[in-house]
Structure 1
Amino acid sequence: MGIYERQRHQHQHLVAPGASLWGDPFRPDADALVAPPLAAVAPVNGIHVAAAAAAVAEDVGVEAEEVKFVFQAQDDGVLPPVEDAAPSSDSFGHDDARPRDKIQRRLAQNREAARKSRLRKKAYIQNLETSRMKLAQMEQELTMARRQQQVIKPSYRLPTTIQGAHATSTGGLLLHAPPPPPDPRAAAFELEYARWSEEQQNQAAELRAALHPPPGSPPDNLHLRLLVEAALSHYDSLFGARSRAARADAFFVLSGAWRSPAERLFLWIGGFRPSDLLAALTPRLDPLTEQQASAVRVLTNTARQLEDALSQGMGKLQQTLVDALLLASVVDAGAAAGGGGGGEVMDGAVGKLEDLVSFVDQADLLRQQTLRNMDRILTVTQAAKGVVALADYCQRLRALSSLWAVRPREPA
């Protein structure tokens, strides 16, 4: 303690009045980490200067010993080594990887948003085009209905003798009377078919989107299978509604009054021919394996044979009706000469017309079985393409009718 007090006393005498031990830190030539400037020490004699230098050297030596002790402790494992901190993203190093990833994500999001915007725009344009075609079709049908009301005038009257002969068979309703209004169930089917056609296009759009997913992701086969099953069930609902409408008014269904003019051109017993449909869709399903192509050929030949059988049955029914009408004419001529009337013959002809419902049901059953068998032959992707192609085919037929209705006409 005496030595420490003596050295401290000596240090206090070495500092000049008005100056600190370390000198002025704001001087340009000052060094705060070294000994005090020599100008601040009063050079009383060489002993005092040597004592001050020895004190400073002793302090520096103690610090060096402490640093050496710390390094030795780290080498021995007593203290953990001091590691340099990794540069942060907000340091002067400026980590460029994180901003670059953010830019790439932002560009990918912009591309995806642009793609979705293009799809929405395309769907909106398609909806506008469909609405325009529907409006043109409705205008065409309204014009045709007005023309028919102006042209058709129920002014034809049968001879009095024939009227009397037919009065019993028709319940007193004379043939010159205006035709009865259509059955409400048949009119309801026309509206139901319009809604069915719209839903068909919506399902085709969903299938088309599922067949062409975003880049980098394969098509979901399970989702495609569900959409195909929904589309086939949609056709089943059409067949059921048409059967109910045929029971209400078979002539309405067979005449195709609920379809567009272009659709009526290809009408076969109230609908499409399965064999013609297969012939039109098969090229859209390539590539087919050899086994698939063989199965499609067998299915097409079978459909044609059944179509021929139904067509022959319809021909025989028509011939039966013709014979009945001719026989009724002969009977009516005999009735005019005093013989019996032909009421029973006409009643038999009306009974034959009830067979038309059976032909409509059998034709729809053939269409349904053809679609189901085609689905079993194809893969889920090929079946989805086939359903989309069928919907596009029906849509183009309706569009053809609309374009025909709005075509430029020559002046009368």
Structure 2
Amino acid sequence: MRPPTLNIFPSQPMHVEPSSTNNHKAATALVSSTTNNSSKRPSEPSMELANARNNAPSSGPETAKAIKREGNRKGPTSSNSEHEGPKTPDPKTLRRLAQNREAARKSRLRKKAYVQQLESSRIKLTQLEQELQRARTQGMFFGGILGGEQGLPVGISNISSEAAVFDMEYARWLEVHHRLMCELRAAVQEHLPENELRLYVDNCLAHYDEIMNLKGMVAKTDVFHLVSGLWKSPAERCFLWLGGFRPSELIKVILSQIEPLTEQQILGICGLQQSTQEAEDALSQGLEALNQSILDTIASDSLSCPPNMANYMGQMAVAMNKLSTLEGFVRQ
């Protein structure tokens, strides 16, 4: 209890006693107003929750309907794809695709072979330029000014210009031949398909055609250089001196290395060997007859002790004409 204080400004006249009944009513009204306020505040969240519950069922059917509509949209597509399944191309399309792949593969192989041919040609040209430059520095002149066009010896090596060029070309040919043989052996060991092996074999055959063309060219200008075999390696000259070269004998060596063969293949190889041997015998007989004829012409008395220069020149012309047939034997 606070001590009573002096009420300077009383709300009521001091001579009137406050009614206890009025005070009681005021207190009761104050308590009831407070109670009403407190009861209203908790009811507001409860009303919000009720509204949320009422709104939730209303939005639920709408969401379900939207999902159902979306499912109806996707439903036919998925069902159609399931019924259709993976499409299989028809045989005509498959055959066309296989043909396109095969054509593309063959095109790549042809391109590779063409690039290799260009590279080998470039290397060949470079080596030929180097050999010509080296020959010029050594004092040899190619071009026929010193009699090379007539087949006369030129330069310090006592061979014609065509023979010198042939020697350089043959040395280059041996290098390329070794490389091609290594590539062919590697392809055989890798068990490549038949069409790819055919490219390597065709390259080797074309390479042999090249050396045969070179021999044909030098046979027209200096057949003696070709027959002498001086352009060959020492090992090749040794074997030629021992037994000569017979293609029919070479076929026998190859035949033992390519077995097994079919009966038709064996018959074909035997026929080739027989025809080759017959051609060899004919060439050998003709060459022997030519050698004997030239020997008889040179050993005659008119050439050893020429009493008449006209007769001597006539006999020499006959011998030279006989030697001109040597080119035909070499070409055969």
Q: TM-score, normalised by structure 2?
A: 0.53
Match of residue 237 from structure 2: 264
Matches within 5 A, 1:57-76: 57-76=50-69
CA distance in 2, matches of 1:43, 1:314: 146
* Pair 1:195-2:166 in alignment: no
Change (3 A) 1:283 1:62: farther
Residue 284 of structure 1 aligns to a residue whose secondary structure is coil
Contact 1:73 1:79 in 2 (8 A): no
CA distance in 2, matches of 1:305, 1:211: 33
Change (3 A) 1:57 1:283: farther
Match of residue 46 from structure 2: 53
Residue 257 of structure 2 aligns to a residue whose secondary structure is helix
* Pair 1:332-2:298 in alignment: no
Match of residue 319 from structure 2: 349
Correspondence for 1:238 among 204, 208, 211:
211
Contact 1:243 1:357 in 2 (8 A): no
Change (3 A) 1:48 1:79: farther
CA distance in 2, matches of 1:315, 1:226: 41
Shift of 1:253: 0.8
Matches within 5 A, 1:172-321: 181-204=158-181, 207=184, 219=193, 221=195, 224-267=197-240, 272-321=245-294
Identity over the aligned pairs, expressed in percent? 33
Contact 1:210 1:219 in 2 (8 A): no
Q: How many residue pairs are counted as aligned between the two chains?
A: 216
Change (3 A) 1:54 1:182: same
Shift of 1:232: 2.7
CA distance in 1, matches of 2:232, 2:52: 109
* Letter in structure 1 aligned against 2:298: L
Structure number, greater radius of gyration: 2
Change (3 A) 1:272 1:80: same
Residue 256 of structure 2 aligns to a residue whose secondary structure is helix
Shift of 1:76: 5.0
CA distance in 1, matches of 2:232, 2:271: 30
Unpaired segments of 5 or more residues in structure 1? 1-41, 82-178, 363-412
Shift of 1:241: 1.9
Shift of 1:77: 5.0
Q: TM-score, normalised by structure 1?
A: 0.44
CA distance in 1, matches of 2:330, 2:36: 131
Root-mean-square deviation (CA, aligned residues, Å) is: 3.9
Unpaired segments of 5 or more residues in structure 2? 1-34, 75-155
Deviation string 1:309-343 (CA, Å, 9 cap, x unpaired) is 21122222222233233324x863685xx999755
CA distance in 1, matches of 2:48, 2:165: 115
Contact 1:317 1:352 in 2 (8 A): yes
Change (3 A) 1:324 1:65: same
Contact 1:211 1:219 in 2 (8 A): no
Deviation string 1:216-259 (CA, Å, 9 cap, x unpaired) is xx6371x5545544433332332222122223222211111001
Change (3 A) 1:354 1:340: closer
* Letter in structure 1 aligned against 2:52: D
CA distance in 2, matches of 1:267, 1:67: 106
Contact 1:275 1:303 in 2 (8 A): yes
